[in-house]
Amino acid sequence: MLVSFFVYVTKSQDGWERVSQEFEEQWNFPNCLGSADGKHVAIQKPPNSGSYYYNYKGYFSIVLMAVVDANYKFLMVDVGANGRVSDGGVMKNTLFWRKLSENQLNLPDPRQLPGTSKKCPYVFLGDEAFQLHPNFMKPYNRAALTNDKTIYNYRLSRARRVVENAFGILTKRFKIFQKPIKFEPLKVRKIVMTCCHLHNYLCSKNRANYLPPQNIDNEDVTTGAKELGSWRQDTPQMLFLQKTKGNATVLAKTVRDDFCEFFNTSGAVPWQNKCLN
């Protein structure tokens, strides 16, 4: 049974639009409402649990699923799924996904992409593990990439970087994530949620010390050079979840194609070709 928790999810369309504006200003991805990902949190094997929490890398874990805003803060956190579940499998069972699928998140109406007359829905961003949805974008399959699709994948990856860095900073700052947590799963859930709340608080109240520039990924848009955040170099990281496959609707594919066209025309940025590698 999944236990879903929301941290700072906005409930108003104005609130969602503020999140979107920050993604557009800071990450050049319009109509974006958050970046999603999932990680395994290592735990001590619970008594009498068999292989229920046993993940694909051979240890016991629960899954932390999150949506992050443009400033590395958690908008939604869902923690507690057993470690055997895939990224996409967890997401489909979260309160967030159910509300998204049933149009209960009070998202703003579709908006014209900047400089165009084409309206696109507001979207969340995920990696290859998730299912494509009209309100949830993912990369194109790497096996059949054109140059335009490669540009789209880069722009999506650039905006998704916030969730990767949020998880990395969480692990770096809260040492409890660097080895198996020796409590029963319900208590681990509470510990993880508390750390996420503290992360958000420190991002807001003490950003200079909690999130100094060297701790997060940076990109020189004049040269295309990337500098990895220190969390990637000196901190044992939570495990990625396995990738899954799912069928997408024609509408979802059309929305992705519209974003792809935008990023290669009126929405192109001067440095994107330099940064592809």
pLDDT at 115: 92
**Would you call 173 helix, strand, or coil by DSSP?**
helix
Yes or no: say if 60 and 45 are a contact pair by the CB < 8 Å rule: yes
- pLDDT tens sequence across 27-54: 999 999 999 998 889 999 999 888 888 8
- pLDDT tens sequence across 106-115: 899 999 999 9
pLDDT at 1: 40
Inform me whether the pLDDT recorded for 3 exceeds 60: no
CA dist 18 and 137 (Å) reads 19
103: phi > 0 → left, psi -120 to 50 → alpha, else beta; which?
A: left
CA dist 151 and 271 (Å) reads 11
Orientation of helix 185-205 relative to helix 147-173, angle to 10°: 100
CA dist 252 and 273 (Å) reads 26
Inform me whether the pLDDT recorded for 241 exceeds 70: no
- pLDDT tens sequence across 159-175: 999 999 999 999 999 99
